[in-house]
Structure 1
Amino acid sequence: MPVRKEPSGRRSVQTEVEVPGTPEAVWEAIATGPGISAWFVPTTIEGRVGGKTIQHFGPDPSMDSVGEITEWQPPHRFVAQTEEAMGTVASEWTVEAKAGGTCTVRIVHCWFADSDDWDSQFDGHAEGWVSFFKILRFYLQHFPGQESALVQVAAQFDGAVSEAFERLMKPLGVKHGTEGQSVKTGGDAPEMGGTVLEAQNTPEGFSVILKLDTPAQAIAHMIGFSMGGPIYISVRFYLYGDEAAGIAREVEVAWKTWLDARFPPA
């Protein structure tokens, strides 16, 4: 997304998505810890001015993103500030009710700078939100209000994006542009069955989103992209329902073992 620049030095970048639900239901999904953890990363939020937001991007606490809430107006708006390398960044979340029982969710990142040094990073950050906002929309369509157990495994591949897509998706029965198709794994692939919600594959990267009923009610998100080096492959499962926490470790081990076989570590 293009960075907006103002004469004052204020810069901003924004991403938005239309989702089903009332403002109150959507607010629960974007402004509470269990809600945002159900479609993004494990998160805790203290819902008040002065409260902390902590997003856990990995097992090491150094990977956490910690912010402070400076404005809190449920169910429509809150602002959290984080301290980054370029200075203070304000992230404004808004929920706007629309006709037909939907809402627009918008996030705007704002910072001050006198150079373009950080623009590309925030441009990429906004593109990342596009992907996660798809998960948010599907979550509110299929699993509104449910908490999730997150499983994430990753691999790398020295080759073309198209070859990485084929190695990962062929055993799963997924092809480009097969939205709405039912899929069920076979052979040595971990057990998985459901419906394709998105299947995009370009020379720059791929993104596949599945709604699963096996091994549990879940949303699976599989992406592959390169930043000038090997192809980075990430597979996430947002598991819902009573059995989610109990089978999360089993799912993690099965998929990590299988990914390592498909994409042997260097």
Structure 2
Amino acid sequence: MYDVTAEVRTDDGSTRVVCSVPLPVAPEVVWDAVATAEGIASWFVSCAMEPRVGGRIVQFADPGAADPTTGPEAAAEAMLTATVGEITEYSPPTAGAPGVFAYVERDWMGEGVPVPPWETSCEVVDDGEGGSVLTLRSGFGSGGELAGQSVSGSVDGWAQALTVLAHRLTHRPADGVVTVDAATDPVDETVPELWARVTSQLIAPAAGVGGHPGGDAGGGAGGNGVVARSGEVGGIVVTESEASRTLILSAPVDGMLELFAFPAGETHEDAAGRAALALRVYEYVDAPGGDGRPLGAAAVDVTPTWEAPRWRAWLEGLIGA
């Protein structure tokens, strides 16, 4: 769906995932979506950044962390598991040149751990027909087992995230986005065991609805166009991987939902046998002050229809907690 492509490339000794997606909006809109904190938060994860070369970019991807926007204590707690990078290029698109935004994360496995720097870039090119092509590259300037495993493990996540971005910019480009994160406590199951139990309750075949069951409706992530429904929550699956699904929601809100299981434990050994269930919801809302034109930086401070406790209760219902 949306012609999202994602693959691992090894060129000149480097190892990177390369993703591309055409988008039906101008380069300036795409730039605001991928190179501002409000834009990144509307399709990827909560983010804070200094939009300049040498500035910091902080991304809050831990599903169990506190919401960093709720106060100083929560922000300090969220920083414990955030990833911090340095912006190395920040060139907005012009009539004669693409936009390029790039950053490097040097301590992505924890402070002081000797790992190669993880480099990510977004290039926004005018397609000459009123739209744009976004190309994202993320990985290492070197090879090796660590680089290969880390990059391979990021392919599905990037493809799913770009599908979230493409869906809004295609169908709801003038809407704002309010996001909600929620997660359960860990249970004594492996990630595959928990995920199999959850999906057996949630997923039901739906031939001819929203996609092609068994086909590839989700670009690089392999969505299969089935209905997912449990209680008041329902939608169409558009991407999937081993332990995650991305849905276009039909209820209880308009928007998209990323549902996933993850290893949860204080040590590596503990996490191997324990897992939790989490979600991130991107709800489409009227943008305050919006004038109907496409928005890139779409994250807004609006009360969501369902706040985190209600989504957490839904997750707990899926795992029988």
Matched, 1:143 2:149: no
CA positional deviation for 1:86: 1.6
Residue aligned with 1:117, SS: helix
Q: Which has the higher contact order (CA 8 A, sep 6+)?
A: 2
Which residue identity is paired with 1:119?
Answer: G
Distance 2:272 2:21 in 1: 29
Q: How does 1:25-36 map to 2 (within 5 A)?
A: 25-36=29-40
Matched, 1:95 2:101: no
Distance 1:169 1:234 in 2: 17
Distance verdict in 2 for CA 1:68–1:205, change over 3 Å: closer
Q: 2:255 aligns with which of 179, 197, 218?
A: 218
Distance 2:153 2:319 in 1: 26
CA positional deviation for 1:91: 1.4
Structure 1 residue runs without a partner (length 5+): none
Distance verdict in 2 for CA 1:182–1:160, change over 3 Å: closer
Distance 1:126 1:235 in 2: 19
Q: Is the 8 A contact 1:175 1:199 kept in 2?
A: no
Residue aligned with 1:247, SS: coil
Correspondence for 1:64: 82
Distance 1:37 1:238 in 2: 9
Correspondence for 2:10: 4
- What root-mean-square deviation, in Å, do the aligned CA atoms of Structure 1 and Structure 2 show? 3.4
Matched, 1:179 2:199: no
Residue aligned with 2:137, SS: strand
Correspondence for 1:167: 201
Q: Is the 8 A contact 2:54 2:88 kept in 1?
A: yes
Question: Normalized per residue, which structure has more strand?
Answer: 1
CA positional deviation for 1:73: 1.1
Which residue identity is paired with 1:166?
Answer: S
CA positional deviation for 1:95: 0.7
Q: Is the deviation greater in 129-138 or in 69-78?
A: 69-78
Which residue identity is paired with 1:121?
Answer: S
Give identity over the alignment, percent. 23
Distance verdict in 2 for CA 1:87–1:182, change over 3 Å: closer
Distance 1:38 1:184 in 2: 23
Which residue identity is paired with 1:239?
Answer: E
The Cα offsets for residues 3-61 of structure 1, whole Å up to 9 and x where unpaired, read as: 4142xx44333222222211011111111111111111111232222222111113321
Q: Is the 8 A contact 1:41 1:57 kept in 2?
A: yes
CA positional deviation for 1:152: 2.0
Q: 2:22 aligns with which of 18, 24, 31?
A: 18
Distance 2:245 2:228 in 1: 18
Distance 2:16 2:228 in 1: 43
TM-score (norm 2): 0.66
Correspondence for 1:86: 115
Matched, 1:105 2:134: yes
Structure 2 residue runs without a partner (length 5+): 1-6, 67-77, 94-98, 108-113, 212-224, 264-270, 288-300
